[in-house]
Structures are given as C-alpha cells and as structure tokens.
Amino acid sequence: MPKFQADVLRTYCISLLTASGVEQSCAEAVADALIDAELTGVSTHGVSRLAVYMQRMDAGVVSRGNNIRIVREAPSAVVVDAGNSLGAAAAKFAMETCIAKARESGCCFATVKNSNHFGTAAYFTRLAAAQDMLGFACTNLKGKIAPFGSAEPYMGTNPISVAAPSDGLPVVLDMAPSVVALGKLILAQKLGKSIPLGWALDKDGNPTTDPAAGRAGSLVPIGGAKGSGLAIMVDVLCGILSGGPYGPHLHDLYVMDEPQGVSHFVGAIDIAHFIEPSAFKSALSAMAGEIKALKKVEGVEEIFLPGERSGRNAAENTDGGIEVPQPVYEELLSLGKPYGLSL
C-alpha cells in the first residue's frame, strides 16, 4: 500500500484542484479537510472523495469558484450562502466567521445553504477548540436513514460534532445518527469488500452484507428512535433553519444531475465569556483522567474519550505517513494525468 507524508498528499490535492480551475482558497480548504480525515484515521472521508468532487465539477453541478458570501448577520448569528461552492470551503469560512464574532459576543452560530459535501464535521469543530472555544457542526445529506417505524429512507446520515479543548487532546464527538457513516459503504464497495450485518438494509428492508445493496436501500439508525430523532433534528438545524432543502429533497453526491443543495449549521462558544479557559481545560482534563481510571470491563484494555483515538492517529500518521489503498492511489494518478501531475 503506497504511503505519503501529509504535506506531499496535501500539495498534490491542491495542485490537482487548482489545475482543474478551482479557486486557490477553496482548493486549500478542501485539501486541508481531506488530509485531516486521513490523519485522524477517517479515510472514508479522505482523498478517496476527491474523485467524486472532480466528477461533480466536471458535470457542472458544483462551482469551481469561490461564491461564498454572508447574506445576513448579527452579533451572534450569520447566514452564509455558499453559492454552490465546495462544501469544505464554505463550512470553514462559516466557522472562522463564528470564531471571530464569538470573541466579541460570547457565541455565534451560522447556517450555510446552497452548499456541498464538506468532509468530516470534526475538522470544523476542532478549529474552534484550537481557539479555546467550544465548536459545534452538523450537516444534512440526501435521505439514507428510514425514520423509526418506516421502511423507506428519508433523513440523511446527518453527522454531528462537538469539540472542547483540554490541556491535552481536545475532546471531540463526531458521529452519524446511523450505525455507520455512508462513507464506509462507499469505501467498501470501492475496495470490493463486504460489510457486516447490522449496518444496512437493502431496498426491501432486509439486512445485507452487500455495500451496493445497502447504498440502494437504507442505513440502520443507532438506538432506534433515538438515532432517527437526531437525524431529524439535524435536518431542522441545517435544512429548515437555513431555508434550504432537507431529507429526500436533497440530491445525492454520486448522482451527477443536480447540485446537492446541502446545508450546514456551525457555531463557536467562547469559553472566556463563561470561565477562564485554563480553568475549563484543567477541569476537562481532570474529568478525562477520572474516566480513564475507572474500572474496566473484561477485555477492555483502555477507556477512550471521544476523539482520543483520532488524535493519536493524527500524531502517528503525521510522523509515519498516510497509507493510501492501491485503488485510491490509482484513482488519484488518473485524476492528475490530464494535468501532468503525479504522486
């Protein structure tokens, strides 16, 4: 399996995007989000997604330009229109705007409409945590989860992330309301692998180990009605609050007929407006230490805090390099060939 240092892979992604006509800052934001996913071990949202981004731009359903603009704002609220720009660029702009405003007002939240797939939600919440703030991010997607009691998918795998700074690694929740994210089925299908039972149902509502059948059917929500409810509320925050589409009214990332129309909801809370950041981080670190020192159940070697494994992965992969599966590597080479680029 080929292995690359993060900066090499990032430079290649930026070069590929800009060579195809993507505006520089948008290309950098997308590359940063993709490489962050690779570093933290979430390869389903890493460089394997570059191909579909390129395909959508080639199909004319995603803009290569930077059309991102604020259409309404107040001290603690912002409405951003992405103008069908690349999703990571729009979400990063919104989070950076919220961080700046939160320093003055204590907190700020933003809706982002007319956007696209933005990668991992945790990338954006960690931007806030790095500034001694609490970060929040979620996004809606085309319907892939059946509401509790229904046999038909309606809500997307609408991910939610919350990040908080500590004296060590930030504590970062990043979860989909489904048993697994759709990206795991996509990557399994790309690699020709099966999926475990319990991840997805086929179009007739039967459990399946075939990722293609699962993509054509629906994903299983976590905790039954609880996961279903989380997915619905993300659509409220992202789709309805932004004035954008939701559920089945969104468009599929892998169908090249229309813009996705997805929306994001992001925000930052400045800890300094409530408590000294050093005191907050010290208390959270103490809580983390107490949790990790609890008695473990049989077979468990260590208790992990949310985001701890990802943080360790990032440190290891920064030093040791990022492994890229052969099919994904060949795909990257194919994407760069028209522009004379090679890894």
Domain, as residue range, for 211: 190-220
* 336 inside domain: no
Q: Which residue in 264, 40, 27 sits closest to 138, CA to CA?
A: 264
Q: Are 240 and 250 in contact (CB under 8 A)?
A: no
- Residues 112, 152 within the same domain: yes
Same-domain check for residues 132 and 225: yes
> What is the C-alpha separation between 200 and 182, in angstroms, rounded?
9
| Residue that is written with structure tokens 């405003």 in the block | 101
Q: Do the domain assignments include residue 66?
A: yes
Residue at 80 is within a domain: yes
When divided into structural domains, the chain yields a total of: 2
Asked, for residue 343, whether it belongs to a domain, the answer is no
Per-residue confidence of the chain (343 residues) as pLDDT tens digits? 899 999 999 999 999 999 999 999 999 999 999 999 999 999 989 999 999 999 999 999 999 999 999 999 999 999 999 999 999 999 999 999 999 999 999 999 999 999 999 999 999 999 999 999 999 999 999 988 988 887 788 999 999 999 999 999 999 999 999 988 788 898 899 889 999 998 998 888 888 999 999 998 888 899 989 999 999 999 999 999 999 999 999 999 999 999 999 999 999 999 999 999 999 999 999 999 999 999 999 999 999 999 999 999 999 999 999 999 999 999 999 999 999 999 9
Same domain, 248 and 168: yes
Do 226 and 91 lie in a common domain? yes
Give the other-Cβ count within 10 Å of 293's Cβ.
9
| Helical residues (DSSP H) of 130-236, grouped into ranges | 182-190, 211-216, 225-235
Sequence-distant (6+) residues with CB within 8 A of 249 are 239, 261
Euclidean distance between CA atoms 189 and 114, whole angstroms: 28
Distance separating alpha carbons of residues 154 and 146, to the nearest angstrom? 5
Tokens 């009691």 found at = 149
The pTM score is: 0.93
Cα gap 218→226, rounded to integer Å: 16
Phi then psi dihedrals of residue 128, to 5 deg: -70, -45
84 and 214 housed in the same domain:
no
